[in-house]
Chains A and B, each alone.
Chain A
Amino acid sequence: MTTLLWLQASGCGGCTMSLLCAESPGALEMLADAGIRLLWHPALSVETGAEARAILEDVATGRKCLDILCVEGAIARGPAGTGRFQMLSGTGQSLMHWAGRLAARARHVVAVGSCAAYGGVTAAGGNPTDAVGLQNDGAHAGGLLPADWRSGSGAPVINVAGCPTHPGWVTETLMLLAAGEVPALDGYARPRFFADHLVHHGCPKNEFYEYKASARELSEIGCMMENLGCIGTQAVGDCNIRPWNGEGSCTRGGYPCINCTAPQFEDPAHAFVDTPKIAGIPVGLPTDMPKAWFMALASLSKAATPVRIDANAHADRVVVPPTLRKPR
Chain B
Amino acid sequence: MTRLVLGPFNRVEGDLEVTLDVVDGRVARAQVNAPLYRGFERMLEGRDPRDALVITPRICGICSISQSAAAARALGDAMGLSPTPQGAAMAALIHAAENVADHLTHFHLFFLPDFARPDYAGRPWHGRAVERFTAMEGSAQRAAVAARAELLHVMGLLAGKWPHTLAIQPGGVTRAPGLREKARLQATLRAFRRYLENVVFGGALEDFAALETVVGLMAWGRGDVGLFLEIAADLGLDDLGRGSGRYLSYGAYALDTGPVFARGVWNGGPGVFDPAQIREDLSHAWMRGEVAHPFEGMTEPDEGMAAPGYSWCKAPRLAGLGYEVGALARQVVDGHPLARALAGGGVLARVAGRLLELARTQAVMEALVAGIVPGAGFMARGRLPRQGAGGGLVEAARGALGHWLRIENGRIAGYQIIAPTTWNFSPRDAAGVPGPLEAALEGVEVGASGLSVQHVVRSFDPCMVCTVH
Pairs A–B under 8 Å by Cβ, sample size 20: A10-B38, A12-B58, A14-B58, A14-B164, A23-B149, A23-B150, A45-B10, A46-B114, A80-B303, A85-B37, A91-B8, A218-B379, A219-B173, A244-B156, A247-B157, A250-B165, A251-B160, A252-B160, A256-B166, A270-B48
B367 at interface (Cβ–Cβ under 8 A)? no
Q: Which of A269-328 contact B (CB under 8 A)?
A: 270-274, 316-317
Q: Given the complex, which residues of A lie within 8 Å of B162, measured CB to CB?
A: 17-18, 21, 244-245
Q: Is the CB of B37 within 8 A of A14?
A: no
Interface flags, B37-59, vs A, CB<8A=1, else 0: 11100111111101101110011
Say yes or no: A128 contacts B42, CB within 8 Å. yes
Select which of A89, A249, A266 is within 8 A of B160 by beta carbon: A249
A231 at interface, CB cutoff 8 A: no
- How many residues on chain A are close to B (CB under 8 Å)? 80
Complex contacts, B117 vs chain A, CB 8 Å: 46
A29 interface residue (CB < 8 Å to B): yes
Which chain A residue lies CB-closest to B48? A271
The interface bits of chain A over 1-23 (1 if a CB of B lies within 8 angstroms of the residue's CB, else 0) are 00000001011111111101111
Binding site for A on B (CB under 8 A): 5-11, 13-17, 33, 35-39, 42-48, 50-51, 53-55, 58-62, 64, 105, 109-110, 113-114, 116-117, 134-137, 141-142, 145-146, 148-150, 152-167, 169, 172-176, 178, 188, 301, 303, 305, 375, 377-379, 381, 450, 454, 465
Nearest CB in chain A: distance from B11 CB, A: 6
* Cβ–Cβ contact A89 & B35, under 8 A: yes
Given known A15-B61, A26-B142, A76-B38, contact A89–B161 (CB-CB < 8 A): no
Using an 8 Å CB-CB cutoff, how does the interface string of A121-132 with B read, 1 for contact, 0 for none? 110111011010
Chain A window 74-93, contacts with chain B (Cβ cutoff 8 Å), 1 for yes, 0 for no? 00101110001111111100
Establish whether residues B116 and A46, one from each chain, have CB atoms under 8 Å apart when the complex forms: yes
**Contact (Cβ within 8 A) A26 B145:** yes
- Enumerate A233-266 residues with CB–CB distance to B below 8 Å: 243-256, 258, 260, 266
Question: Does A217 lie at the interface of the complex (its beta carbon under 8 Å from any beta carbon of B)?
Answer: yes
Q: For residue A247, which residue of chain B has the nearest CB?
A: B156
Given A20-B145, A86-B15, decide whether A129 and B38 contact each other with a Cβ distance below 8 A. yes
Query: A260's closest neighbor in chain B, by CB?
Result: B164
CA distance A151 to B174 in the complex (A): 43
Which residue of chain B is the closest to A94 with respect to CB atoms? B35
Main secondary structure of the interface of A (DSSP, over half): loop
Query: Of the candidates A17, A29, A80, A128, which one forms a contact with B62 in the assembled complex, judged by CB atoms under 8 Å apart?
Result: A17
> Taking the complex as formed, is A154 at the interface, i.e. its CB lies under 8 A from any CB of chain B?
no
* Residue contact B161 to A245, C-beta cutoff 8 Å: yes
Partner of A248, one of B7, B48, B161: B161
Q: In residues 86-136 of chain A, which contact B (Cβ within 8 Å)?
A: 86-91, 121-122, 124-126, 128-129, 131
Cα–Cα, bound, A289→B58 (Å):
32
Interface centre among A48, A88, A121, A246 (most CB of B within 10 A): A48
- B5 A8 Cβ-Cβ under 8 A: no
Chain B residues in 8 Å Cβ range of A271:
47-48, 50-51
The one of B43, B50, B110 in contact with A124, judged by C-beta atoms closer than 8 angstroms, is: B43
In the bound complex, CA of A316 to CA of B375 (Å): 9
Q: Which of these, B14, B39, B114, contacts A129 with CB under 8 Å? A: B39
B145, A28: Cβ atoms closer than 8 Å:
yes
Top 4 nearest A-B pairs (CB, nearest first) are A253-B160, A14-B61, A90-B7, A89-B7
Nearest chain A CB to B377 CB, angstrom units: 8
Measured in the bound complex, the distance between the Cα atoms of B135 and A139 in whole Å is 38
Partner of A316, one of B13, B153, B176: B176
B10 touches A52 (CB 8 A): yes
Asked if A187 is an interface residue, CB under 8 A from chain B, the answer is no
Contact A49 B146 (CB under 8 A): no
Cβ-defined contact, A43 with B167, below 8 A: no
B54 CB contacts on chain A under 8 angstroms: 258, 272
Docked-complex contact B163 and A18, CB < 8 angstroms: yes
A219-B379, A245-B152, A246-B156 are known contacts. Are A253 and B161 too (CB-CB below 8 A)?
Answer: yes
Task: Collect the chain A residues with CB atoms within 8 Å of residue B450's CB.
Answer: 49
Distance from B428 Cβ to chain A, minimum over Cβ atoms (Å): 19
CB of A14 within 8 A of CB of B10, answer no
- Judge whether A38 is part of the interface by a CB distance below 8 angstroms: yes
Which residue of chain A has the shortest Cβ distance to B16 in the bound complex? A89
A146 on the interface (CB 8 Å rule)?
no
Are B59's CB and A12's CB within 8 A? yes
Q: Which residues of A contact B377 (CB under 8 A)?
A: 316
Residue from B14, B61, B159 with most neighbouring chain A CB atoms (10 Å): B61
User: In the complex, which residue of chain A has the Cβ closest to the Cβ of B6?
Assistant: A49
Known: A79-B303, A86-B15, A89-B15. A164 touches B7 (CB 8 A): no
Contact of B378 with A316 in the complex, beta carbons under 8 Å: yes
Most-contacted residue by chain A among B5, B37, B157, B172 (CB, 10 A) = B37
Cβ contact within 8 Å between A273 and B166: yes
